[in-house]
Amino acid sequence: MQTKSKGPLWSNKERYQQLLRNFFKRRQNRREVIAGWIKSVGKPKVFCIGKNKTGTTSMKRAFVELGYVAGNQRLGELLVYDWARRDFRQLFRYCLTAQAFQDFPFSYPFTFQALDQHFRGSKFILTVRDSAEQWYESLVSFHSKIWGHGKVPTIEDLKEARYVFKGYAYEVYHLNSQTPPDDPYNREILIAGYRAYNHAVKDYFRHRPDDLLVLNVAEPGAYDRLCDFLGKPRMGKDFPHENKTEDVKPRK
């Protein structure tokens, strides 16, 4: 029997605001955000909008190597609740604190359109895997290790997962789910969603080839293609394989 939901976290305004206050209570976080804002004033933005588990962590490292100020990922993840309401005002303010961004909520539908309209002249990078099936297997393998004790996570596993805070993984599912609660990692639905999202990105930019780079970071020459796209000198290197499933420890 399915239990009744108490409602998404973003409906509790006080709790949501407390999360943001807690973030800025840490002096290191405040310093990072202020320094990033100062260094990024007047500089163009670069957004990696590929789905998670398509090399987005490797992209962040590449951004830093190429001299970009990368956004604080934890602060971006907290904005997923505004994303659920399609309210991008805080996201726009957050984007003033750095030059390059990836992962939540940049990997979600509707975000790239809002960013493109607000930050004119920005560059967008759609990271992809060899196939939708490969992406799905990577996603499930990763989540199984960090949240499912080696098995495909259930809804209860997501509620107990301690990432950002206990239950955040479930909140994200609740806000963005296309799969049924009794099968949160439904293969057919998730693969269809991956394909639909990538198609939407490509279709949106189809008449603007200079603004979107579709990139598989595992392919030879991918790093140099990124450099060419961003107008940076070629590095003659390959992308590092960051955030590998075998190197990640369970988060429960």
Q: Which long-range contacts (CB under 8 A, 24 or more apart) does 171-175 make?
A: 171/8, 171/9, 171/80, 171/81, 172/80, 172/104, 174/5, 174/8, 175/8, 175/10, 175/80, 175/81, 175/83, 175/84
pLDDT tens digits along 47-85: 999 999 999 999 999 999 999 999 998 888 888 888 999
- For the beta carbon of residue 157, count every other beta carbon within 10 angstroms: 20
pLDDT reported for residue 243: 53
pLDDT reported for residue 20: 76
pLDDT reported for residue 175: 86
pLDDT band of residue 13 (cuts 50, 70, 90) is: low
CA distance 81 to 69: 24
pLDDT exceeds cutoff 90 at 183: yes
CA distance 112 to 106: 7
Query: Under a CB-based contact definition with an 8 Å cutoff, are residues 125 and 50 in contact?
Result: yes
pLDDT tens digits along 184-239: 999 999 999 999 999 999 999 999 999 999 999 999 999 999 999 999 999 888 88
Give me the residues paired with residue 163 across strands. 165
pTM of the model: 0.88
CA distance 109 to 95: 17
What's the chain's average pLDDT?
88
pLDDT reported for residue 3: 39
pLDDT reported for residue 63: 96
pLDDT tens digits along 116-175: 999 999 999 999 999 999 999 999 999 999 999 899 999 999 999 988 888 888 988 888
Tokens of 203: 């279709």
pLDDT reported for residue 1: 35
pLDDT exceeds cutoff 70 at 242: no
pLDDT exceeds cutoff 70 at 41: yes
pLDDT reported for residue 12: 53
Q: Is the peptide bond before 109 cis (omega within 30 degrees of 0)?
A: no
Q: Which residues of 234-244 are buried (b: 16+ CB within 10 A; e: fewer)?
A: eeeeebeeebe
Q: Which CATH superfamily is domain 12-247 in?
A: P-loop containing nucleotide triphosphate hydrolases (3.40.50.300)
CA distance 83 to 77: 10
Q: Which long-range contacts (CB under 8 A, 24 or more apart) does 60-67 make?
A: 60/100, 60/102, 60/103, 60/242, 61/240, 61/242, 62/223, 62/226, 62/239, 63/99, 63/100, 63/102, 65/235, 66/226, 66/227, 66/230, 66/232, 66/235, 67/232
pLDDT band of residue 95 (cuts 50, 70, 90) is: very high
